């Protein structure tokens, strides 16, 4: 429902901007050059991504089903973990399906409107996920460093308010990107040197000086990504130092949870920092980093949490046993 409303609003914005820029924008579609020109490598990547996608994507929905069906998994940590699985599953639908189709297509063409829509949802869900990791770090800080106040601070109303805030934050982050790009004129060429539409490649095709726009994009995506990354590392360093100095029974569990979060932080923000915090120049590693950033890592993130969480694994086993009994 939320994505339908957002899609409608985005299409209205696109129509308004297209009417304004009809005299300047000639390009109506973009040609995607793809991940590689080698047919053998394309076939190999196609098979690997398809297998990976069909195995791990259902795992994310299993996480959501497990958390929603088990009354014992009502703590805020599991509430946010379920939302992480939902965000990552949604994020994986933006690039991977079209990428798989393009691998077996001679012409890889995406319309101007389709390109902008893909770019919007890529940053909308990606920005929301980044903010969700910040919220999860806050949740762990309160649980470990202020345990007596945890139930008061992280009550259901606060959890839903934080969830609404991260969705709104992702929307604002993405709509700024889209608004800046929609004001650029595109009069040729129309070849995107990638397998999907993203800010760096699209900006370079504008037939005007894009220096100011590039700076704004770096500030919006790059600086936000870097600050979130450094802030998260600092917060978990504080938590680990606090845990290290304690002798509580839950010390090992807290360390395990924080370690899991840190792994996901590196997977989530590492590629983003590489892509968005530097001037928009093409590097040989860009496509490989983008492949992991948009297709592989989003599917892995929730599974990393699950494999290191004994309660969720136990709940999955109970759910499985109930259905085969």
- Interval 70-122: pLDDT, tens: 888 888 988 998 998 899 889 888 988 888 888 888 788 999 999 999 999 99
The verdict on residue 10 lying in a domain is: no
Residue 319 predicted with pLDDT over 80: no
Residue 187 predicted with pLDDT over 50: yes
Under a CB-based contact definition with an 8 Å cutoff, are residues 139 and 75 in contact? no
pLDDT, average across residues 287-303: 80
The verdict on residue 111 lying in a domain is: yes
Residue 244 predicted with pLDDT over 90: no
pLDDT of residue 8: 61
Average pLDDT score over the chain: 83
CA distance 303 to 306: 5
User: Residue 174 maps to which CATH number?
Assistant: 1.20.1070.10
pLDDT of residue 13: 53
The verdict on residue 234 lying in a domain is: yes
- In degrees to the nearest 10, what's the CA dihedral of 88, 63, 84, 87? 40
Both structure tokens of 260: 């899991």
Identify which has the larger pLDDT, 179 or 307: 179
pLDDT of residue 10: 61
pLDDT of residue 110: 92
The verdict on residue 184 lying in a domain is: yes
The verdict on residue 307 lying in a domain is: yes
pLDDT of residue 14: 55
Identify which has the larger pLDDT, 33 or 26: 33
The verdict on residue 9 lying in a domain is: no
pLDDT of residue 174: 93
How many structural domains comprise the chain? 1
pLDDT, average across residues 157-172: 95
User: What secondary structure does DSSP assign to 242-289, as a single string?
Assistant: HHHT---TTHHHHHHHHHHHHHHHHHHHHHHHHHHSS-S---TTHHHH
The verdict on residue 319 lying in a domain is: no
Domain ranges, residue 76 = 29-313
pLDDT, average across residues 245-258: 70
Which strand (E) or helix (H) includes residue 191? strand 191-192
pLDDT, average across residues 195-218: 88
CA distance 322 to 27: 56
Residue 201: which residues within 8 A CB-CB, separation 6 or more? 192, 193, 194
Any idea which of 122-131, 221-230, 258-267 has the lowest mean pLDDT?
Answer: 258-267
Confidence of residue 23 (pLDDT cuts 50, 70, 90): very low
The verdict on residue 4 lying in a domain is: no
Any idea which of 14-23, 70-79, 98-107, 268-277 has the lowest mean pLDDT?
Answer: 14-23
């Amino acid at each position: 429902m939320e994505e339908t409303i957002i899609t409608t609003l985005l299409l209205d914005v696109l129509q308004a901007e297209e009417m304004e820029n009809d005299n300047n924008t000639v390009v109506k579609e973009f040609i995607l050059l793809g991940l590689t020109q080698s047919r053998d490598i394309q076939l190999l990547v196609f098979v690997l991504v398809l297998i990976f996608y069909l195995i791990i994507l259902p795992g994310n929905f299993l996480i959501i089903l497990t958390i929603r069906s088990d009354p014992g998994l009502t703590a805020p940590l599991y509430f946010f973990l379920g939302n992480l699985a939902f965000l990552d599953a949604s994020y994986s639908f933006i690039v991977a399906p079209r990428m798989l189709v393009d691998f077996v297509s001679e012409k890889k063409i995406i319309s101007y409107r389709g390109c902008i829509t893909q770019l919007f949802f890529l940053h909308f869900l990606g920005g929301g996920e980044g903010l969700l990791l910040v919220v999860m770090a806050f949740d762990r800080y309160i649980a470990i460093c202020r345990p007596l106040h945890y139930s008061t601070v992280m009550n259901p109303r606060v959890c839903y308010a934080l969830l609404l805030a991260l969705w709104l934050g992702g929307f604002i982050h993405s709509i700024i990107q889209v608004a800046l790009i929609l004001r650029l004129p595109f009069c040729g060429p129309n070849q995107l040197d990638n397998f999907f539409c993203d800010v760096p490649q699209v900006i370079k095709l504008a037939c005007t000086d894009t220096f100011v726009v590039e700076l704004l994009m770096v500030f919006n995506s790059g600086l936000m990504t870097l600050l979130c990354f450094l802030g998260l590392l600092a917060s978990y360093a504080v938590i680990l130092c606090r845990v290290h100095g304690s002798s509580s029974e839950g010390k090992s569990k807290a360390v395990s949870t924080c370690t899991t979060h840190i792994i996901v932080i590196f997977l989530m923000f590492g590629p983003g920092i590489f892509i968005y915090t530097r001037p928009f120049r093409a590097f040989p590693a860009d496509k490989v980093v983008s492949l992991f950033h948009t297709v592989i890592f989003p599917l892995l993130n929730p599974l990393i949490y699950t494999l290191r969480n004994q309660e969720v694994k136990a709940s999955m086993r109970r759910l499985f046993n109930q259905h085969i009994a």
